[in-house]
């Protein structure tokens, strides 16, 4: 497996991991239990992430994978990427 394919199959950045977990839940139809096992979350964490995503999408803002590398890095969720909300 190439490093490029592992980037998608085993996300390490917290925001990317959350995106893939939500995508698995909504697009692939995985259960919260399956998502929790795949991404090393608890089932309650999967539900919390789902609720936050639903709440923000109702407000017209979603926390999708909109990441921009930063020169110095950012402390947000331990990531070296900057999160910028998107508008639906």
Please write the tens of the pLDDT for every residue from 54-74.
888 887 766 554 555 554 544
Q: Do 82 and 14 touch, CB atoms closer than 8 A? A: no
State the pTM of this model: 0.68
CA distances from 5 to 9, 11, 17, 18 (A): 6, 10, 14, 18
pLDDT at 8: 83
Q: For residue 81, give the H/E element and its range.
A: strand 81-83
**Domain residues of the chain, as ranges?**
3-63
Higher pLDDT, 15 or 65: 15
Q: Do 41 and 35 touch, CB atoms closer than 8 A? A: yes
pLDDT at 88: 40
Query: Is residue 84 over pLDDT 60?
Result: no
């Amino acid at each position: 497996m190439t490093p490029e394919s592992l980037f998608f199959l085993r996300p390490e950045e917290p925001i990317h991991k959350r995106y893939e977990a939500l995508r698995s839940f909504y697009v692939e139809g995985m259960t919260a239990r399956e998502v929790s096992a795949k991404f090393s979350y608890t089932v309650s964490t999967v539900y919390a992430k789902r609720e936050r995503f639903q709440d923000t999408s109702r407000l017209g803002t979603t926390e999708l994978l909109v990441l921009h590398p930063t020169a110095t890095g950012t402390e947000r969720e331990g990531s070296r990427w900057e999160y910028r909300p998107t508008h639906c």
